[in-house]
Structure 1
Amino acid sequence: MENIKISIIIPIYNASKFLEKCIRSIMEQDFRDIEIICVNDGSTDNSLEILNKLSKEDSRLKIIDKKNEGASKARNIALEVARGKYCLNIDSDDWIEQGYIKALYERAEKDNLDITISNIIFDYFNDSSKNYILNDLEILDEKMISGEEYINIFLKNNFYGYTWNKLIKTELYKKNNLKYNEKIFMMEDVEMILKLAKIGKKIGKVNKAFYHYIQHQTNGSKKISLKRIEDMQRCYEELFIYFKKDKIILFELEKRCLNSIFHFLKCSFDLKNDIKYKIFQKEYLEKSKKTPFLKIQKGDIKMEIIYRNILKVFPYLKIMNLLFTLDSKVLEKLRMLRNGRSN
């Protein structure tokens, strides 16, 4: 009889270059009570062929083959069939070190944790000299915090919205009907981890980095486009609705939203991507014509309007550095200046 304790969820799209290493790193773990749910999201390379070969070696590997609809849809489909007490997301171009699953499981079981977090190795493909470890949540191994405490730390300090370095109780998803946002490509993890933390009572940590997050030019999240900005806004809009009764969290979300959008834009243009700022700005403002240049009353949460207004008031984004250290006083001054320009 199968004794599945953890469901490993892997969305796959044209990942043949990395896929076998990823899955073998899971198959070879010393923790055996797992199922490996691989969702082939309409790959046009030989990813499905690799999956079929590996499934013959290990019966724990389950393949779902579907048309291309995005990673969020793939994860949601996998969650529907997941049978483990816990879920662990892994991206198809990443890999994990030996002992990762066992360490997370034992830590979660010790204190009945809802979410168990590990550190991350940023692994630069073909240039290991750049590798570094990211410490996701600075607490001791034996310490636990509440979901509310985690949200506060997340919004104010780290903002590492990854679900693939977190062991999560499956019932958090299923009992609360939580699904990854299928309308967005970027920051769907941010939206999900904050919703999970609101429900989760106990959050803990394994202070070791096992997860290799591979950095390469084909990472989808590195591609710059108008869609990425719209995804950010949609993510925050969903969170504003979800946390509408918590004024403190709403205020922190508002600050973080501005920070995220402008940090993303700064990185995009500093990296000299093929999309130029003026073209980007023109495209965005053209799309925003139907939205009037509105004043935001104190207490209103309408970040899409705030962003459009800032772009019009500051067309060359010279206030970037100001936004990086945004606090409540700066935010209020920004509102006053914007409102003054809109009269």
Structure 2
Amino acid sequence: MANQPEGDGPDETRTDGAEQPRRTVITFVIPSYNVEDYLGRCLSSLLIEQQLNDVEIIIVNDGSTDGTLALAREYAGRYPQIRVIDQENKGHGGAVNTGVANARGMYVKVVDADDWLDQVALRNVLAELRRQADSPAPVDLLITNYTYEKQGKRIKQTIRYAGVITPGRVIGWNEVRRFRPDQNLLMHSLTYRTKILREKARLELPEHTFYVDNIYAYAPLPQVRTLMYLDEDLYRYFIGREGQSVQKDTMIRRIDQLIRVVQLMILATPSRDAVPEGLYRYMIHYLTINMGIDSVFMVLSKDRENYRRKDELWRYLDEHAPEAGQAVRHTLIGSLLTVPGPVGRGLIRVGYWFAHNVFGVN
């Protein structure tokens, strides 16, 4: 029984000297592939107290060929709250799937092995999650801030939501205000109630596919009824190491995977009357951003075949989610992205230049 994931139920972790089982409040899932140089920093940021009886850390070793597995097992031998799952390589999505499927925590948060959490913010977040675990109606989604830790950059950019969501209150989607284009709910900002992912959304990310974190941050949202925002700079998102999937040249090479991910997002988009208006508005916002990312990199590739595929992707949106397609096209970003021909491609290149050089967007 102790080896079975419990989600919202009790598990076998006990308080010192107590007979009754203690609920695991949160599971941190750490997908890990060839990250021996970074994993220790990530784990150290989570191990903030000597006694974390209600915290679980699952390291999913995704077929690493370096010393990642040995390091993970070393930590697991020293800290009882750490579990290691070793599997053949399935990609980031496959590692997240494994972690979520095995999570015992009432809540789950994915922390990539080359990222880390701020320890002061983590203490405050854990305190709130413990309050939620004791509540008769625990919140479905906890939102926190994330900071871009760009290698070589002294000034850090933190994405916050205080102008969009009132901090410290349990609310519904219709109390969420409009997001700015650079203000998105990424995997880094989300802590889901485990049963939202496992039982309600039944989330299964595609394997051997990059950028699936966009699906993770999008597809389950219609199952979220209540949310809370804590104005805590919790997640430190490390950018700049060689070969990282968000580098410009890397994203152009992986156009196929960008397209696949946004197509899955299109298929996961609900009709407007199926969800609260505030949620539908946000999902159109985030879908527009991802349609923009795909369109931009297809244009930046300077490949005529990718120009054709850009047009095909917009047709896919219109065919599979016509209501959402119309809403996306009516946004300012959507209208600029769909200007046809060389003029449209020129607008996209100029827009990318400003976003990259003036606003610091990748």
Aligning the two structures, in what range does the TM-score lie when normalised by the shorter sequence?
0.7 to 0.9
State the 1:107 CA deviation: 2.3
Task: Confirm or deny that 1:133 pairs with 2:167.
Answer: no
- The equivalent of 2:255 in structure 1 is 226
Q: Relative to structure 2, which stretch is displaced further, 59-68 or 161-170?
A: 161-170
Give the distance between the partners of 1:184 and 1:199, measured in 2 at CA. Answer: 26
CA gap of 1:31–1:192, structure 2 versus 1, over 3 A, is farther
The 5 Å alignment of 1:67-86 reads: 67-86=88-107
CA root-mean-square deviation: 3.9
Please state whether the residue corresponding to 1:240 is helix, strand or coil: coil
Task: Confirm or deny that 1:167 pairs with 2:191.
Answer: yes
Give the distance between the partners of 1:172 and 1:102, measured in 2 at CA. Answer: 24
CA gap of 1:137–1:265, structure 2 versus 1, over 3 A, is farther
State the 1:106 CA deviation: 2.5
Give the distance between the partners of 2:72 and 2:62, measured in 1 at CA. Answer: 12
Equivalenced residues, count: 309
Give the distance between the partners of 1:31 and 1:88, measured in 2 at CA. Answer: 19
The 5 Å alignment of 1:35-46 reads: 35-46=56-67
Structure 1 unaligned residues grouped into runs of 5+: 270-275, 325-343
Q: Relative to structure 2, which stretch is displaced further, 208-217 or 235-244?
A: 235-244
* CA offsets 1:125-175 (integer angstroms, 9 cap, x no match): 2x241322221453343333213544x645x65552322332221121222
Please state whether the residue corresponding to 1:194 is helix, strand or coil: coil
TM-score scaled to structure 1, two decimals?
0.74
The 5 Å alignment of 1:19-30 reads: 19-29=39-49
Q: Relative to structure 2, which stretch is displaced further, 1-10 or 59-68?
A: 1-10
Please state whether the residue corresponding to 1:181 is helix, strand or coil: coil
- The equivalent of 1:182 in structure 2 is 206
Give the distance between the partners of 1:202 and 1:286, measured in 2 at CA. Answer: 38
Task: Confirm or deny that 1:115 pairs with 2:144.
Answer: no
Contact kept in structure 1, 2:147 and 2:233, CA below 8 Å = yes
State the 1:75 CA deviation: 1.1
State the 1:282 CA deviation: 1.9
Q: Percent of pairs identical after alignment?
A: 16
CA gap of 1:256–1:48, structure 2 versus 1, over 3 A, is closer
Structure 2 unaligned residues grouped into runs of 5+: 1-11, 14-21, 133-137, 353-362
Contact kept in structure 2, 1:240 and 1:301, CA below 8 Å = no
- The equivalent of 1:320 in structure 2 is 348
CA gap of 1:147–1:109, structure 2 versus 1, over 3 A, is farther
- The equivalent of 1:327 in structure 2 is none
Contact kept in structure 2, 1:148 and 1:198, CA below 8 Å = no
* CA offsets 1:66-103 (integer angstroms, 9 cap, x no match): 11111111111111111111112111001112244432
State the 1:245 CA deviation: 4.2
* CA offsets 1:267-289 (integer angstroms, 9 cap, x no match): 787xxxxxx6333x325637989
Please state whether the residue corresponding to 1:83 is helix, strand or coil: coil
Matching residue's letter, 2:123: K
* CA offsets 1:21-64 (integer angstroms, 9 cap, x no match): 11121123467121111111111221112112211211211111
Q: Relative to structure 2, which stretch is displaced further, 172-181 or 36-45?
A: 172-181
Matching residue's letter, 1:81: N
CA gap of 1:264–1:29, structure 2 versus 1, over 3 A, is farther
Task: Confirm or deny that 1:240 pairs with 2:269.
Answer: yes
Contact kept in structure 1, 2:116 and 2:236, CA below 8 Å = yes
Give the distance between the partners of 1:258 and 1:170, measured in 2 at CA. Answer: 27
Contact kept in structure 1, 2:146 and 2:159, CA below 8 Å = yes
Q: Relative to structure 2, which stretch is displaced further, 76-85 or 245-254?
A: 245-254
- The equivalent of 1:62 in structure 2 is 83
